[in-house]
Amino acid sequence: MTGGSGFLGSHLCERLLKEGHEVVCLDNFFTGSRANVEHLLDHHRFELMRHDVTEPLTMEVDDVYHLACPASPIHYQRNPVRTIRTAVEGTLNMLDLAREAKARILIASTSEVYGDPIEHPQHESYWGNVNPIGPRACYDEGKRCAEALAVSYARQYSVEVRIARIFNTYGPRMHENDGRVVSNFVVQALRNEPITVYGEGQQTRSFCFATDLIEGFIRLMASPHGADPVNLGNPRETTVLELAEITRKLAKSKSEIVRAPLPTDDPTRRRPDISRAQQLLGGWAPVVSLEQGIAATIDDFRRRLGV
């Protein structure tokens, strides 16, 4: 697994070990940390390796989960060239590894391939509306290129490819400085600091709890279905302002909700059509409600922040 010591990667490592697999976790620790997998270090089937996916690698493996890439706008925009290198060269290297090892590879793509979508909700057949030169382009176009590479390896070299288009996913173990909306709001609410809603807060996202997403990953990797992308996310759509209110209430916080500038090219709405996932992945659908998921995330942050 690449990016295995990040937020989603650490949950996936845990799940794969529970299922009896041997897991090699590669990470350059850019946004991930050893702390996320500290509890797995003594496990006899777990191995942690510092490796940057922009460097080639060969290894005997059966499956590759390719998650390495900063995912939060503040992190992926800090060094946009590096982000493109990670998304493009990193995916190329991991596809070469899969090809050589005759392994199946699952690519962690994103709903950002739809950009600021004109079609709503987003079905996999929608080609997207991405600004190719805006501040989000390094990530969005990097991931679009990663998808193009993956389907090309499938067509040209018969590599067994799976593509997950992940919609906003949150949960325990997100970094307190991750910068994405759920972790920001939870940290702010727990510290009784102002909750920063960007713009009017009427933009929407659809928030999926980590364990639901991981279940989708496992089923997608196991499915006989080929390289066509599959949306994985929770179809419940929420405005950012609603999310702020839910978080404040569940954290029993005294925070006020304040407005901050809306970032450039911030997508106005986002909701997955998950009919393909339901059909191909044995009826897969998220089971954790937003309220349950936010409450669990609050508990985790409360413990870690000691508040």
For residues 92 and 149, is the Cβ–Cβ distance under 8 A? yes
- Count CB atoms within 10 A of the CB of residue 149: 19
> What residues pair up with 63 in beta bridges, in sequence order?
104
Q: Is 276 in the site for ligand UDP (CB under 6 A)?
A: no
> What residues pair up with 105 in beta bridges, in sequence order?
64, 161
Total length of the chain:
307
Residue closest to 215 by CA, chosen among 154, 171, 178, 158: 171
Nearest-angstrom CA–CA distance, 211 and 12: 9
| Dihedral pair phi/psi, residue 283, rounded to 5° | 75, 20
Cis omega before residue 172 (within 30°)? no
Binding residue count for ligand UDP, defined by CB under 6 A: 14
What are the strands, taking DSSP E only, across the chain? 23-27, 46-50, 63-66, 104-110, 161-166, 169-170, 195-198, 204-206, 208-209, 230-232, 237-239, 257-260
Binding window for ligand UDP (CB under 6 A); candidates: 54-62, 117-125, 197-205, 296-304? 197-205
Q: Is 211 in the site for ligand UDP (CB under 6 A)?
A: no
- Name the minimum Å distance from CB 1 to ligand NAD: 10
Neighbouring residues of 191: CB distance < 8 A, sequence distance ≥ 6: 255, 305, 307
37 versus 159: smaller Cβ distance to ligand NAD: 37
Q: Is 70 in the site for ligand UDP (CB under 6 A)?
A: no
Q: Is 115 in the site for ligand UDP (CB under 6 A)?
A: no
- Name the minimum Å distance from CB 256 to ligand NAD: 27
For residues 266 and 197, is the Cβ–Cβ distance under 8 A? no
Q: Is 203 in the site for ligand UDP (CB under 6 A)?
A: yes
86 versus 196: smaller Cβ distance to ligand UDP: 196
Q: Is 146 in the site for ligand NAD (CB under 6 A)?
A: no
Q: Is 141 in the site for ligand NAD (CB under 6 A)?
A: no
194 versus 304: smaller Cβ distance to ligand NAD: 304
Q: Is 110 in the site for ligand NAD (CB under 6 A)?
A: yes
Tell me whether residue 170 is one of the annotated catalytic residues.
no
Binding window for ligand NAD (CB under 6 A); candidates: 16-24, 47-55, 116-124, 154-162? 47-55
Q: Is 30 in the site for ligand NAD (CB under 6 A)?
A: yes
Binding window for ligand UDP (CB under 6 A); candidates: 56-64, 154-162, 192-200, 296-304? 192-200
Residue closest to 150 by CA, chosen among 102, 101, 219, 104: 104
Q: Which of residues 150-169 bind ligand UDP (CB under 6 A)?
A: 168
Which residues are identified as catalytic? 139
Q: Which residues bind ligand NAD (CB under 6 A)?
A: 2-3, 5-9, 27-32, 52-54, 67-71, 86, 90, 108, 110, 166, 168-169
Footprint of ligand UDP (CB under 6 A): 72-73, 168, 180-181, 184, 196-198, 203, 205, 240, 263, 266
